[in-house]
Amino acid sequence: MSRPGPIEYSDASPEVRAIFDDIKRTRNIADVNNFWKYLAHDPAGLRRTWESIKQVMAEGALSPLSKELVYVAVSVTNGCGYCIASHTASARKAGMTDAMFAELMAVIGMANETNRLANGYRVPIDAAFDR
Amino acid sequence: MSRPGPIEYSDASPEVRAIFDDIKRTRNIADVNNFWKYLAHDPAGLRRTWESIKQVMAEGALSPLSKELVYVAVSVTNGCGYCIASHTASARKAGMTDAMFAELMAVIGMANETNRLANGYRVPIDAAFDR
Amino acid sequence: MSRPGPIEYSDASPEVRAIFDDIKRTRNIADVNNFWKYLAHDPAGLRRTWESIKQVMAEGALSPLSKELVYVAVSVTNGCGYCIASHTASARKAGMTDAMFAELMAVIGMANETNRLANGYRVPIDAAFDR
Amino acid sequence: MSRPGPIEYSDASPEVRAIFDDIKRTRNIADVNNFWKYLAHDPAGLRRTWESIKQVMAEGALSPLSKELVYVAVSVTNGCGYCIASHTASARKAGMTDAMFAELMAVIGMANETNRLANGYRVPIDAAFDR
Amino acid sequence: MSRPGPIEYSDASPEVRAIFDDIKRTRNIADVNNFWKYLAHDPAGLRRTWESIKQVMAEGALSPLSKELVYVAVSVTNGCGYCIASHTASARKAGMTDAMFAELMAVIGMANETNRLANGYRVPIDAAFDR
Amino acid sequence: MSRPGPIEYSDASPEVRAIFDDIKRTRNIADVNNFWKYLAHDPAGLRRTWESIKQVMAEGALSPLSKELVYVAVSVTNGCGYCIASHTASARKAGMTDAMFAELMAVIGMANETNRLANGYRVPIDAAFDR
């Protein structure tokens, strides 16, 4: 098989189970989503990724909702189907309304457009911005 | 010359000046930034882009700051130097603190990383997300 | 039909069959994969692409395994589903173990993350690197 | 030095000189541009890339101008500064007017925007398109 | 539901119906494609996007066919499945033959390749191009 | 200032100095490169990124050289100027010869090309690969 499949909780090692437990507890969910089940083939990577996500996505100077909006923006720009689906769901859970979703999409679209206008016209950075 | 240069206010047509004036009034700035001066070679495109940006970036269900964070996230993901510089400045103006900037960067980095883990492990979308 | 479908060996012109035969012989496989069957609508492009791939992916200063790892890294970064699947399989054939796969994914993820941190912080290139 | 520098005609091997000569003759230019001088460190790659470009960019079912517009569109989308500059110049040489340039930029921008709207809204492919 | 579904004509508001009608009339089609049905959750965004597309894709200094080729090139480079399918169909409608399609693909592929060679060799922009 | 500048060792907090010291010791270098000096404004992010990089890039099932080649491939594909420069230098340090560099570039270019051919021809994944 060219790629390892998902590892379910019942088949997981104690090390992986402990991480799954922490994900479930932190997010208050019954089971971890597929992303973690695939990553579980690499327990060190699973732990590192989870610890990083937990730290990065926590309430801080930015709210969890703001962070999820940014996550969706990156995923949509990159065209990552899995991440668009999962983080749109997370953003909903964090409070994204239909109106916010529509505005988010509009901003993402506009930024992707003007990024290319700036590239194509080779606009030099204004002195006021370049520092 | 392979690409048109910037058009300054003093050299602009009345149509372009009217748009420049609206940009300056809306944003309360003394002069428009380079992006608009280059786009001014295409008055129809200049008008369309400005009208779209004005509509999309206005206060709505999302705050101007939230929108600027998303704009920076897209620009950083695409690696658009001009847009990173100009929208980081806009985000600052809209209230982004140093702590917010650091968290924004961390979220952008993490999303770009996990987008590729999801791609590479070919993680199927969970039924709960796929709708 | 908006896009040409696959061309099977039995329906292929002598020119295309000769290229298919060379692919099968070089890779020691019973049939060519879909990529080549779709490209076969453009015999000149098929030949050019196959001759280039054969030359570029051959044993050289880098091993075929190293080259397949790089191919997977590009495909994962771009989010090309077909190429991720086919080159993960090629990398397996060239000797990629489960442990190597996990490390490959981790490096790809990390590079995509730090690429954006460098973009977002607008880090200037160190004099020692810039030559 | 971390990367090989350019190879000028006067320092080039006979093999590289022959390719440079063919580039200059085909394009009717006095000297090759930097791209080829850097690639010259890999004579096999130089030959393969040049032979491919020459074949792909030649007059065919599409005009050289149409092909250059496509080349610019890809380069702008990817944000490749070198390629934007060199292929905008090539497109100019092939007949791109200021008005065409402005329309090209507008189409590129719009496509990059709607690509993300389609991603973000996860629009399913219409049956009429999916074949 | 994490994302809004499509809005059919029969369920649409008068405002959305008017835009759907204009799309159908302009393109001479019986029903709008999915893209517009999903966007219809955001009537302001639907209107803005349609008005922009209508203006940008109209016959001008560039032909509708040239513009569709550019649209496909951007969509293929970004890997947007929906847009590749829909704009390949539009390009067909605008007159793209099988031979043009094959050449288009070859140019897109080549540009994506040389974009990375220019990046990787860090080729400095020739003085003749950089203005 | 819209973005924080670099933090030199002499101005760094004890926490940041400790991380800088670990980077210098691990890599056997006299000073850390700019990337770390900019990231130092976010000590938690600096620590997390460094700990992750140290773990991910260490000798494992893949050699440090193989990992650096993959890092360069990602950076070139994304067009991250800083990362291309710094990781080409790292790859050199890890043993990359001129011949390896040339082959690496050729593979990266080819993968970026065929990724788009697969996208554009909408090649369905072979049953043999899709698992």
pLDDT tens across C85-121, in order?
Answer: 999 999 999 999 999 999 999 999 999 999 999 999 9
Closest chain F residue to E104, measured at CA: F120
E56, D87: Cβ pair inside 8 Å?
Answer: no
Cβ–Cβ gap C45/E101 under 8 Å: no
The residue length of chain E stands at 131
| Residue D127: partners with Cβ closer than 8 Å, 6 or more residues away | none
Which chains have 3+ CB pairs within 8 A of A?
Answer: B, C, D, E, F
User: To the nearest whole angstrom, how far is the Cα of C74 from the nearest Cα of chain A?
Assistant: 13
Rounded Cα gap, residues F58 and C106, in angstroms: 11
Report d(CA E66, CA E90) in Å as an integer: 11
pLDDT-based confidence at F4, cuts 50/70/90? confident
In C, what residues contact E, Cβ < 8 A? Answer: 2-4, 41-42, 45, 48-49, 78-80
E103–D60: do the CB atoms touch at under 8 Å? Answer: yes
Count CB neighbours of F74 within 10 A: 28
- Residue C25 reports pLDDT greater than 90: yes
* Cβ contacts of B111 on chain A, cutoff 8 Å: 70-71, 74-75, 83, 87
The whole-angstrom distance between B45's CA and the closest CA on chain D is 7
Structure tokens, D29 = 């230019």
Confidence of residue F2 (pLDDT cuts 50, 70, 90): low
Considering CB atoms only, which of D4, D49, D80 is closest to F98?
D4
Which residues of chain C have a CB within 8 Å of the CB of B116? 76-77, 105, 108-109, 112
Say yes or no for a CB contact (<8 Å) between B111 and A83.
yes
Name the CA radius of gyration of chain C, rounded: 19
> What is residue A131's predicted lDDT score, i.e. its pLDDT?
62
Interface of E with C (CB under 8 A): 79, 85, 88-89, 92, 98, 101-102, 105-106, 109
Whether the per-residue pLDDT at E1 is higher than 70: the answer is no
Give the Cβ contact number of residue B102 at 10 Å. 23
Q: Is the dihedral of CA F1, F3, A74, C86 positive or negative?
A: positive
Q: How far is B93 from chain E (nearest CA, A)?
A: 26
Summarize the confidence of residues F33-41 as an average pLDDT: 97
Can you list the alpha helix ranges (DSSP code H) found in chain E? 14-27, 34-39, 43-57, 64-78, 81-93, 98-120
DSSP letter at D10 equals G
* Mean pLDDT of each 10-residue bin along chain B, 131 residues long: 83 98 96 97 97 97 98 98 97 97 98 98 93 62
The reported pLDDT for the residue numbered B131 is: 62
Interface contact D104-A120, CB threshold 8 A: yes
Q: Where are the alpha helices (DSSP H) in B79-97?
A: 81-93
CB C114 within 8 A of CB F53: yes
The CA-atom distances, in angstroms, between B114 and each of B109, C121, F108 are 9, 20, 22
Residue C114 vs residues C110, D19, F83: alpha-carbon distances, Å: 6, 38, 8
Chain B interface with E: residues with Cβ < 8 Å: 1-3, 44, 48, 52, 55-56, 129, 131
Chains that touch B (3 or more CB pairs under 8 A): A, C, D, E, F
* A114 contacts in chain D (CB < 8 Å): 109
E79 backbone φψ class: left, alpha, beta (φ>0; ψ -120 to 50): left
Distance CA D74, CA D70 (A): 6
ipTM score for this prediction: 0.96
pLDDT of residue B86: 97
Cα first-last separation, chain F? 50
Q: In the numeric block, which tokens belong to residue B117?
A: 């883990």
Residue pair C30/C24 in contact by the 8 Å Cβ criterion: yes
User: What would the mean pLDDT of F65-74 be, rounded to a whole number?
Assistant: 98
Question: What's the confidence (pLDDT) of residue C121?
Answer: 97
Q: Which residues of chain D have pLDDT under 50?
A: none
Please, are residues A102 and E41 in contact by the beta-carbon 8 Å criterion?
yes
Residue range A79-107: average pLDDT? 97
Give yes or no for residue F96 having a pLDDT over 80: yes
Closest CA to F3 of B84, D86, A74: B84
Report chain B residues whose CB lies below 8 A from the CB of D69.
Answer: none
Cα dihedral sign, C40-C45-C46-C49: negative
Q: b vs e for A8-19, b when ≥16 Cβ sit within 10 Å of the residue's Cβ?
A: eeeebeeebeeb
User: What are the tokens at D75?
Assistant: 């380069």
Contact between E111 and D83 using a beta-carbon 8 Å cutoff? yes
Distance CA A80, CA A77 (A): 8
Q: Report chain A residues whose CB lies below 8 A from the CB of D77.
A: 116
Nearest CA in chain D to F90: D2
CB-nearest to E2 from B1, B55, B131 is: B131
Rounded average pLDDT over F2-24: 93
What pLDDT sits at residue C130?
A: 77
F131/D63: higher pLDDT:
D63
How far is Cα A79 from Cα A101, in angstroms, rounded to an integer?
Answer: 17
Return the pLDDT at F68.
Answer: 98
How many CB atoms neighbour CB C23 within 10 A?
Answer: 18
Asked if the model's pLDDT at residue F44 lies above 80, the reply is yes
Residue E54 token pair: 């209508």
Lookup result for tokens 């983080």: A87
To the nearest whole angstrom, how far is the Cα of F121 from the nearest Cα of chain C? 7
Confidence of residue F20 (pLDDT cuts 50, 70, 90): very high
Whether residue F93 contacts residue F65, with contact meaning beta carbons closer than 8 Å, is answered with no
C-alpha to C-alpha distance for D36 and D19, rounded to whole angstroms = 9
Nearest residue in D to A73, CA atom: D120
Residues E17, E40: Cα–Cα separation, whole Å: 9
Check the CA dihedral B23-B27-B30-B35 and report its sign. Answer: negative
Q: What is the pLDDT of residues A55-75, one digit of tens each?
A: 999 999 999 999 999 999 999
**Nearest CA-CA partner of E72 in E46, E48, E103, E116:** E103
Contact state of F105 with D80 under an 8 Å Cβ cutoff: no
What are the pLDDT digits (tens) for C59-78? 999 999 999 999 999 999 99
**Interface contact C105-A2, CB threshold 8 A:** no
- Region F23-32: what's the mean pLDDT? 96
State the average pLDDT over residues F39-43: 96
Of C53, C99, C117, the CB nearest to F61: C99
Phi, psi of F29 (to 5 degrees): -125, 160
Q: For residue A108, which residues of chain D lie inside 8 Å, CB to CB? A: 116-117, 120
Contact A67 B4 (CB under 8 A): no
Question: What is the structure's pLDDT at F84?
Answer: 98
pTM of the model: 0.97
Kindly list the residues from chain A whose CB atom is less than 8 angstroms away from the CB atom of residue F2.
Answer: 129, 131
**Which of B125, B63, B48 has the alpha carbon at shortest distance from B93?**
B63
Of C79, C106, C109, which is closest to A78 when you measure between CB atoms?
C79
Mark yes or no for CB contact F2/A44 under 8 Å: no
Chain C residue with the nearest C-alpha to that of B111: C113
The pLDDT tens digits of the residues spanning B79-112 come to: 999 999 999 999 999 999 999 999 999 999 999 9
Mutation site for C-interface testing, chosen from B72, B116, B117, B122 by largest number of C Cβ within 10 Å: B116
Hey, what's the torsion of the CAs at A66, B35, F78, A62, to 10 degrees? -10
% of chain A surpassing 70 pLDDT: 97
Say which amino acid occupies B86: S
Query: How many other CB atoms sit within 10 Å of the CB of residue D23?
Result: 18
Q: pLDDT tens digits, residue range E76-124?
A: 999 999 999 999 999 999 999 999 999 999 999 999 999 999 999 999 9
pLDDT at D131: 62
> Residues of B at the F interface (Cβ-Cβ below 8 Å)?
79, 85, 88-89, 92, 98, 101-102, 105-106, 109
Q: What percent of chain A shows pLDDT beyond 90?
A: 95
